[in-house]
Amino acid sequence: MKLSLMTFSFLTERLKRQMDGPKLCRLAKDNGIDTVDLMASEVWLYGVNNLKKAFDESGVTCGCIIAPLPFYKDVERFPEKLTEALDLCGEMGVRSLMVIPGHGDEAACRALRREEMLFRAIEMLSMAVNRAAERDIEVLFEDTPQRHKPLAGVADCRAILDGVPGLGFVFDTANFMVAEPDTDLITAYDALKDRTRRVHLKDVVRGDFPTGEACQDGKRIRAVPTGAGIVPLRPFVEKLVSEGFDGVACIEYAAVKGIHGMEHDKYIAGYVRNIRAYETGDIAAPPYGQIAGIDKPVSRIFFGTAILPMLMGKDAGAILDAALSAGINAFDCARGYGSAEKSLGNWIRARNNRERVVLLTKCGNVDRKGNVRVNREVIEKELAKSLQTLGTDYIDIYLLHRDDPNTPVSEFIDALNEAKKQGKIRVFGVSNWTVERIREANEYASAHGLEGFSVSSPNFGLARQVSDPWGGGCVTVSGPEHEEDRAWYAETRMPVLAYSSLGRGFFSGRFKSFDEEAAKKTLDGPAQKGYLCPENMRRLRNAETLAKRDHCTVPQVAMRYVFSSPMNVFALVSTTNPARLPENIFAALTPLSREDAAFLEADEE
């Protein structure tokens, strides 16, 4: 299937000189795309000659020019504007012109009846088709996302196509929602496919947003990465492939705030990867597991939100979208992660995706002096703050971030059972608790007819935790000394949410096993304290050996080790680079054999 890239969301970047023709072409080529669809305004901003030079040097071509023409306001200028658009197509060597029926014309449309607007559209598009035919240019129109015009519904699009012989159609997978929110995509395509020349593959979210394309029922839609929204693109692409669609499928890339210039490359890659996977059937989504009490499958990879932008409360929509688009639907947060709950909550509200994600947060972290205080008062106070900050009325998985040995287990169990009874949490558990304390708590719960802890989040990974990285009683189940703990988890099948699976960057691949000085320069204080030791350097050497053998990376080997455990493991993974997400998914899908896991653990010099 031939792909094209639609990039009108770069307009602001072009105005700020952060995007130009060569960069645009490189973004396409780097992702295996050799055609772009451009708004007429983009061509003028980039400069015709500059774009033509970039195209000649890169081999990228422009497949379609998109131009708004005055259908309902300033109609007398229609011939002039049409001529400008056709001239631009000729100058750029483009043979397809997609016409947008007006812009900024809501007042003029309000003065017309529905039938008058449809008649006008047919009249103008007929003129465009006839004029363009003289230049051997095909005119196209799409299901137009403007709520004040009858041009987004399937029946209206069909009426226009029937009224304008020679007019081609651009099937936008999301725009039907403007007029008909419950449109069945496959049925709509079947009704219009005889005239469909190009497809705009667009995923969106829908809700009561302050901005976005307005729908006739008052809602708005916003574009998001492929797979992160509500449009069923996978079965749609599968249908295109099965029927031998020979037109162009255009990826409508929605640039996200905070991403600039060539940084877009790794985000566009996610769009392309998903579309190609839908096309070939080779879907590389993470494996999913079930956690009792959660009414949806839970990705075996949790996205960890303790990353710098989120700790500072900044917009992290780009990486969160990328995670959800990759199939990661579980997100790990905590009151102790700075302003991460604020960032995560803002993203959930902006995407209206609360029911799609599995939300985990924690209370009762260690303070700066290494002290821990967790009790009923802390639980109730921090739970209320988390619910408010995250903007939700319930949390899927609620964990105690640390154990406080001064608080009896009965107090924890009673408080958490009350919170669950009130509907504030679905499932509760612990982080950094020993198996002995978990058993004690669950024995109390069983004896009193209450629910016990059903999830645990200790450190687990290839790196042995030789010292408490942060203080406050960090608990690990790594290493031979914790074999009995791992056996208990494997037997009980209690979900283990493994944190610091890469030893806080120890197995990042950024230094070699023979270079301890480089390790000291790379790892932060907690990582050096917790993981930098001769034994882990030997394990890193073994990981390098397997990475070379299996043609993968050291981080992937370390993650494959985690998923080879007989425990019911879920891994917490943090990154600001979306390119790391498919690498982690590969690891989750390809656990190591027992023999390879034993080789990594081997302690011989």
285 in any annotated domain: no
382 in any annotated domain: yes
**Residue pLDDT, tens place only, 69-78:** 999 999 999 9
Per-residue pLDDT, averaged over 465-481, amounts to 91
**Residue pLDDT, tens place only, 158-186:** 999 999 999 999 999 999 999 999 999 99
The CATH number assigned to the domain holding 439 equals 3.20.20.100
333 in any annotated domain: yes
pLDDT value at position 455?
98
List the 213-214 sheet strands across, edge first: 203-207, 220-224, 213-214
Boundary residue ending a domain (250, 280, 310): 280
How would you classify the pairing of strands 35-39 and 2-6?
parallel
Point out the least confidently predicted range of 2-16, 102-116, 525-539. 2-16
pLDDT value at position 369?
77
In the block, which residue shows the tokens 């996302």?
145
Boundary residue ending a domain (214, 245, 280): 280
| CA distances in angstroms from 411 to 293, 327, 375, 406, 441, listed in the order given | 22, 37, 7, 11, 10
309 and 252: one domain? no
How would you classify the pairing of strands 220-224 and 248-252?
unpaired
211 and 79: one domain? yes
| CA distances in angstroms from 432 to 458, 471, 567, listed in the order given | 5, 11, 17
Backbone angles phi, psi at 100, to 5 degrees: -95, 120
Per-residue pLDDT, averaged over 488-507, amounts to 96
Range of the domain at 11: 2-280
What is the percent of the chain with per-residue pLDDT over 90, rounded to a whole number? 90
3-state SS class at 23: helix
Other Cβ atoms less than 10 A from the Cβ of 30: the count is 15
Query: CA-CA distance, 444 to 349, in Å (whole number)?
Result: 38
Point out the least confidently predicted range of 101-115, 191-205, 227-241, 448-462. 101-115
pLDDT value at position 324?
97
Point out the least confidently predicted range of 13-22, 52-61, 329-338. 13-22
Give the confidence band of 256 by pLDDT, cuts at 50, 70, 90.
Answer: confident
Helix (H) or strand (E) holding 100: strand 96-101
Boundary residue ending a domain (280, 313, 331): 280
313 and 253: one domain? no
**Residue pLDDT, tens place only, 122-135:** 999 999 999 999 99
pLDDT value at position 7?
83
Alpha helices in 465-579 (DSSP H): 483-492, 516-522, 525-531, 534-550, 554-563
354 and 263: one domain? no
pLDDT value at position 602?
87
263 and 354: one domain? no
288 in any annotated domain: no
293 in any annotated domain: no
**Residue pLDDT, tens place only, 315-331:** 999 999 999 999 999 99
pLDDT value at position 260?
87
pLDDT value at position 568?
98
Query: CA-CA distance, 362 to 386, in Å (whole number)?
Result: 9
Per-residue pLDDT, averaged over 80-86, amounts to 97
Q: Give the closest residue to 20 by CA, choosing from 41, 40, 47, 38.
A: 47
115 and 181: one domain? yes
pLDDT value at position 605?
56
The CATH number assigned to the domain holding 157 equals 3.20.20.150
Give the confidence band of 18 by pLDDT, cuts at 50, 70, 90.
Answer: confident
DSSP secondary structure code for residue 65 in this structure: E
Count up the domains in the chain and report the number: 2
Q: Give the closest residue to 379 by CA, choosing from 396, 362, 393, 392.
A: 362
474 in any annotated domain: yes
286 in any annotated domain: no
266 and 315: one domain? no
pLDDT value at position 258?
83
264 and 305: one domain? no
547 and 595: one domain? yes
For residue 198, give both structure tokens.
């190009």
pLDDT over 80 (residue 16):
no
**Residue pLDDT, tens place only, 557-597:** 999 999 999 999 999 999 999 999 999 999 999 999 999 99
Query: CA-CA distance, 166 to 130, in Å (whole number)?
Result: 9
Give the confidence band of 604 by pLDDT, cuts at 50, 70, 90.
Answer: low
Averaged pLDDT of the chain: 94
256 and 385: one domain? no
270 and 345: one domain? no
197 and 306: one domain? no
340 in any annotated domain: yes
For residue 520, give both structure tokens.
């000291």
In the block, which residue shows the tokens 């005119």?
139
